[in-house]
Amino acid sequence: MREPSFQQLLILGLLLVGLLIFIQLGIFTLALEKLGLSSHSIFLVLMTSLFGSAINLPLFTIQGNPLIKLDRPPAHGLLLGRPLPYTGKTIIAINMGGALIPILVSIYLIRLHQISFPVFLSAIFIVSGICYTFSRPIPGLGIGMPVFIAPISAALTAILLAPEQSASLAYVCGTIGVLIGADLLRLNNIRDLGAPVAAIGGAGTFDGIFITGIVAVLLA
């Protein structure tokens, strides 16, 4: 049997990548439709999230541990992923696609579905506590956490607290819960990570806070 040529392998690889992108976009669209968003809103959220995932906006700088020695230099950056060296200080930034956009969507959903203040506050408190418990500092990188901890806990919390609004509440407490529990409450740990930039929202569109919200909606 003749082995496949390079061109055939390339075509197969491109088809697989295209299929993966199609599945991701389909899941993304399904989740946002479940939240009651219009097709125009879905397109707007998708595009801003895709472009925003490459942008980390600096907020403030904290003094790190200058004695930290890493086996390999970290490759974190700010605007458009530009790499920065670690100089003993860490820039705290916020990712547009992975944090800012989900926060704005959460605020919109709270108002759209009229989620009561005690309900979403309780849900955020529960998920934040779970995220803080399971998150861990990773030297040279940031704060890490098992990927399905947040969405599963957010979905279960939403179903228990507000079954009729479970999808929207799961998105809200999933995104805000990760933001608080795994990012804001872990700021003190950032000093010993040796990371030049610690971005709230992590890798952006299909990771970190953003994908937590999407998966939580699908599970709720």
Residue 53 lies in a domain: yes
Question: Is residue 201, in this structure, part of any structural domain at all?
Answer: yes
Q: Does residue 161 belong to any structural domain of this protein?
A: yes
Cβ within 8 Å of residue 51, ≥6 positions away: 96, 97
Contact status, residue 200 vs residue 92, Cβ threshold 8 Å: yes
Q: Is residue 123 part of a domain?
A: yes
pLDDT > 60? residue 206 = no
> What are phi and psi for residue 95, nearest 5 degrees?
-85, 130
Tell me whether residue 48 is in a domain.
yes
Q: Pick the closest to residue 98 from 44, 133, 48, 156 (CA basis).
A: 48
Residue 121 lies inside a defined structural domain of this protein? yes
Q: Per-residue DSSP letters for 51-76?
A: HHTTBEEEEEEEE--TT---SS----
In a domain, 1, yes or no: no
pLDDT at 79: 46
Q: How far apart are CA 182 and CA 187, in angstroms?
A: 9
Domain count, the chain: 1
Asked if residue 173 belongs to a domain, the reply is yes
DSSP classification of residue 80: T
Q: Which residues pair with 142 in a beta bridge?
A: 138
Range of the domain at 180: 6-219
Per-residue pLDDT tens over the stretch 19-60: 455 455 666 667 767 777 777 777 787 778 777 777 888 888
Q: How far apart are CA 90 and CA 142, in angstroms?
A: 11
Rounded to two decimals, the pTM is 0.76
The predicted structure's pLDDT at residue 76: 46
Mean pLDDT over each residue of the chain, to the nearest integer: 75
